[in-house]
């Protein structure tokens, strides 16, 4: 009989990037790469576990922006185009490397991986990967939770209706695509502040996650730390992140992904190969980009890189899975000696894109881990928050602390000299949206369309990703432009609506471009 639980949580998110006005658009690659390297490999792992009858539980957030992109016909079509080109390149690579025994098997691996991705995407799941995750949900293996509608960082939003809209729109869209309302939420960047739980409760959400210090700094002091959920006064539960299990996977120094046998992320044929040869697979402007075929392993701390050897890497992934499980068993045994009236739960959340995209062997590691948990031991059992709360509905009542899981634990990553200028505009737009929603209740026709589009533009401007990118320094221009464009579109709609002069053709254009949340109802801002 298990002495404690492990709740693995994968936060799956990309901002809404869709540019029908361009035939190809660099930033759309974020989605295509994540599909090929993370989403499909993870789906394959879960399908494999189910086919083999391996019992498992996992929690995944699918953010509303990601759901919107994964179910968008234009992006689906473009992904097929993208993967077809990659397959063509990989086939050429198999041919080119025929006399290079160290690279040939790798070229074949990529060719097979891309062919499999196309099969899973097109044939198995009819171009709609959300249906794959829904299947795992309906089989009872996966708890799917939601997130802020566009991943807006809620503690910096000020306008309560703007926060409410992030939640309401998310819950509505989630329910439409997954067939049931979400019971939990991954707060964008784990950004929590006191009182947010009340809004979650309004929308039927029963639990959220915080970083460790969100619980450790709660008042009164939580008796069981992060190893049992707590309730806010509203009755909404908070699960805190476990530091130890986090580090082992996230950290480059103490963690697994930095192992020298694993694949090197920064070494890509998009940069390594002869320009004329690779050019047809780059974007039309001919600038080198990552293409996703990477032949080298991390090797060491220098720039010298040796060819990647797949079976060595897989062996390491298996060892690392064993190590992770061993540590969780010891952790659970230790906790069970302290926590007497319930089984402890270890909450281990990660960005889903860590698995496969950043850490190429991540999905294999997860696969080994889940199989080992099922067959190699009896101390630790996988669970989901809902299952845990059903077993232990009685929790301590505390006030979790304002916190995020970002750098330094609070809001600084999204509020610093590189990006603090955006809040003036975001707050103004949010207040104006509230004003519009109150001035025009029950609008219909073109006015209703304009009001709904204004809400979409505001939401899109609020994505925390833009502030994040401004801070990190790559694709800054794009992030700035996205923020500006959406605020400007919002502002023009605001002026047009107030001046009773809506330009229907222009409205049609931006409805087509920013087509997220077709069922949005602006009155959520009233």
Partner 1 sequence: MANSSLQLKTVAELKAMAKKKKITVPAGSTKTDLIGLLSKSNGAKPAKTAAKAKVKAAKSAKPAASKAKTAPAKKAVKKKAAAAKPAARRAKPVLEAPLKAAAAKEPQRRVKIPATEPLAEQEQVSVAKFFTGSPEFAALETGASLPGEYGEERIIMLPRDPEYAFAYWEIPQERIDRERALLGHDSRLCVRVYDITGVHFDGSNATAYFDQDVYEHVGSWYFNLQRPGRSFCADIGLRTSDGRFLVLARSNAMSMPSGEVSDVLDEEWMSIEEDFVKLYGIPGWIAGGQSAQSQQVQELLRLRRLMDISSASLSGRSRKQGR
Please report, as residue ranges, which positions from 139 to 178 form the binding site for partner 1 (by CB under 8 A): 139-140, 155-156, 158
Question: What Rg, from alpha-carbon coordinates, does the chain have?
Answer: 23
Q: Give the residue, chosen from 39, 114, 405, 440, that forms a contact with partner 1 under the rule CB under 8 A.
A: 405
Between CA 509 and CA 520, with CA 514 as vertex, the angle to 5 degrees is 110
Where b means 16+ CB within 10 Å and e means fewer, 194-211 reads eebbebbeebebbbbbbb
Query: Is the CB of 220 or the CB of 518 nearer to partner 1?
Result: 220
Which 381-400 residues touch partner 1, going by CB under 8 A? 389-391, 393-397
DSSP strand E in 99-202: where?
142-147, 184-186
Choices 53-61, 363-371, 403-411, 495-503 (CB under 8 A): range interacting with partner 1: 403-411
Choices 312-320, 369-377, 445-453, 481-489 (CB under 8 A): range interacting with partner 1: 481-489
Choices 299-307, 375-383, 503-511, 517-525 (CB under 8 A): range interacting with partner 1: 299-307
Q: Give the residue, chosen from 312, 326, 478, 506, that forms a contact with partner 1 under the rule CB under 8 A.
A: 478
* CB contact at 8 A, 347 and 209: yes
Q: Give the residue, chosen from 428, 435, 446, 511, that forms a contact with partner 1 under the rule CB under 8 A.
A: 428
Q: Give the residue, chosen from 116, 175, 290, 377, that forms a contact with partner 1 under the rule CB under 8 A.
A: 290
Residue 379 C-beta: closest distance to partner 1, Å: 22
Between CA 16 and CA 20, with CA 17 as vertex, the angle to 5 degrees is 125
Q: Give the residue, chosen from 420, 495, 504, 509, that forms a contact with partner 1 under the rule CB under 8 A.
A: 420
Nearest C-alpha neighbor of 208 from the set 247, 234, 243: 234
Q: How many CB atoms lie within 10 A of CB 322?
A: 14
Which 178-197 residues touch partner 1, going by CB under 8 A? 179, 183, 193-194
Choices 73-81, 165-173, 312-320, 349-357 (CB under 8 A): range interacting with partner 1: 349-357
Which 220-239 residues touch partner 1, going by CB under 8 A? 220-221, 223, 231, 235
Query: Is the CB of 34 or the CB of 459 nearer to partner 1?
Result: 34
Query: Is the CB of 218 or the CB of 443 nearer to partner 1?
Result: 218
| 218 lies in the binding site for partner 1 (CB under 8 A) | yes
Residue 479 C-beta: closest distance to partner 1, Å: 9
Please state, in angstroms and rounded to a whole number, the distance separating the CA atoms of residues 402 and 303.
Answer: 41
Please report how many Cα atoms fall inside a 13 Å half-sphere around the Cα of residue 337, on the Cβ side.
5
Q: Give the residue, chosen from 301, 501, 505, 519, that forms a contact with partner 1 under the rule CB under 8 A.
A: 301
Query: Is the CB of 357 or the CB of 456 nearer to partner 1?
Result: 357
Query: Is the CB of 317 or the CB of 411 nearer to partner 1?
Result: 411
Site string for partner 1, 36-75 (x = CB under 8 A): ----------------------------------------
Choices 106-114, 284-292, 435-443, 517-525 (CB under 8 A): range interacting with partner 1: 284-292
Please state, in angstroms and rounded to a whole number, the distance separating the CA atoms of residues 50 and 56.
Answer: 9
Please state, in angstroms and rounded to a whole number, the distance separating the CA atoms of residues 89 and 252.
Answer: 31
* CB contact at 8 A, 61 and 13: yes
Helix axis angle for 445-461 and 422-439, nearest 10°, is 160
Q: How many CB atoms lie within 10 A of CB 12?
A: 23
The tokens of 161 are what?
């209706």
CA 92 to chain centre: 33
Q: How many CB atoms lie within 10 A of CB 416?
A: 13
Query: Is the CB of 250 or the CB of 326 nearer to partner 1?
Result: 250
Please state, in angstroms and rounded to a whole number, the distance separating the CA atoms of residues 38 and 358.
Answer: 9
- DSSP one-letter code for 217: T
Which 76-135 residues touch partner 1, going by CB under 8 A? 103, 126, 131, 134-135
Q: Is 35 helix (H, G, I), strand (E, B) or coil?
A: helix
Which 358-377 residues touch partner 1, going by CB under 8 A? 358
| 418 lies in the binding site for partner 1 (CB under 8 A) | yes
Nearest C-alpha neighbor of 290 from the set 313, 310, 264, 312: 264
Residue 12 C-beta: closest distance to partner 1, Å: 11
Cβ neighbors of 224 (< 8 A, separation 6 or more) are 339, 342, 344, 396
Between CA 31 and CA 171, with CA 486 as vertex, the angle to 5 degrees is 65
Size of the site for partner 1 (CB under 8 A): 118
Residue 278 C-beta: closest distance to partner 1, Å: 9
Cβ neighbors of 14 (< 8 A, separation 6 or more) are 30, 31, 34, 63, 65, 66, 69, 353, 465
Q: Give the residue, chosen from 84, 119, 271, 330, that forms a contact with partner 1 under the rule CB under 8 A.
A: 271
CA distances (Å), origin 24, targets 74, 172, 301 = 11, 31, 36
CA 143 to chain centre: 14
Which 13-32 residues touch partner 1, going by CB under 8 A? 14, 25-27, 29-30
Q: Give the residue, chosen from 108, 122, 259, 264, that forms a contact with partner 1 under the rule CB under 8 A.
A: 264
Which 482-521 residues touch partner 1, going by CB under 8 A? 484-485, 487-488
Query: Is the CB of 22 or the CB of 438 nearer to partner 1?
Result: 22
């Amino acid at each position: 009989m298990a002495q404690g639980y492990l709740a693995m949580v994968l936060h799956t998110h990309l901002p809404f990037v869709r540019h029908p006005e361009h035939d190809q658009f660099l930033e759309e690659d974020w989605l295509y790469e994540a599909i090929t390297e993370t989403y499909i490999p993870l789906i394959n792992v879960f399908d494999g576990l189910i086919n083999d009858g391996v019992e498992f539980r996992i929690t995944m957030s699918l953010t509303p922006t990601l759901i919107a992109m994964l179910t968008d016909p234009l992006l689906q079509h473009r992904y097929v185009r993208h993967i077809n080109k990659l397959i063509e390149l990989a086939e050429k690579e198999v041919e080119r490397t025929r006399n290079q025994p160290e690279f040939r098997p790798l070229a074949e691996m990529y060719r097979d991986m891309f062919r499999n991705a196309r099969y899973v995407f097109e044939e198995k799941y009819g171009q709609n990967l959300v249906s794959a995750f829904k299947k795992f949900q309906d089989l009872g293996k996966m708890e799917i939770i939601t997130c802020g509608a566009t991943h807006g960082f809620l503690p910096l939003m000020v306008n309560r209706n703007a926060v409410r809209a992030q939640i309401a729109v998310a819950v509505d869209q989630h329910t439409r695509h997954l067939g049931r309302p979400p019971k939990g939420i991954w707060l964008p960047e784990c950004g929590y502040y006191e009182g947010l739980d009340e809004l979650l409760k309004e929308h039927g959400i029963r639990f959220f996650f915080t970083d460790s210090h969100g619980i450790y700094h709660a008042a009164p002091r939580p008796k069981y730390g992060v190893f049992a959920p707590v309730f806010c006064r509203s009755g909404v539960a908070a699960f805190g992140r476990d530091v130890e299990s986090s580090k082992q996977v996230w950290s480059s120094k103490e963690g697994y992904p930095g192992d020298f046998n694993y694949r090197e992320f920064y070494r890509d044929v998009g940069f390594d190969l002869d320009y004329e040869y690779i050019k047809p697979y780059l974007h039309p402007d001919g600038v080198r980009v990552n293409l996703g075929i990477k032949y080298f392993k991390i090797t060491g701390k220098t720039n010298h890189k040796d060819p990647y050897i797949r079976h060595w890497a897989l062996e390491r992934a298996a060892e690392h899975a064993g190590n992770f499980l061993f540590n969780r068993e010891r952790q659970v045994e230790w906790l069970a000696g302290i926590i007497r009236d319930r089984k402890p739960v270890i909450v281990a959340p990660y960005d889903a894109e860590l698995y496969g995209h950043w850490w190429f062997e991540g999905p294999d590691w997860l696969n080994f881990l889940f199989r080992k948990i099922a067959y190699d031991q009896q101390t630790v059992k996988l669970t989901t928050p809902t299952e845990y709360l059903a077993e232990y509905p009685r929790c301590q009542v505390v006030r979790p602390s304002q916190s995020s899981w970002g750098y330094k634990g609070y809001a600084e990553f999204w509020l610093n000299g590189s990006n603090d200028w955006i809040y003036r505009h975001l707050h103004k737009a949010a207040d104006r949206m509230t004003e519009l929603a109150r001035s025009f209740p029950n609008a219909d026709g073109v006015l209703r369309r304009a009001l709904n589009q204004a809400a979409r533009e505001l939401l899109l401007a609020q994505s925390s990703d833009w502030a994040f990118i401004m801070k990190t320094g790559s694709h800054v221009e794009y992030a700035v432009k996205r923020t500006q464009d959406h605020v400007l579109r919002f502002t023009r709609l605001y002026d047009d609506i107030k001046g009773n002069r809506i330009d229907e053709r222009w409205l049609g254009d931006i409805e087509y471009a920013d087509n997220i949340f077709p069922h949005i109802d602006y009155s959520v801002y009233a």
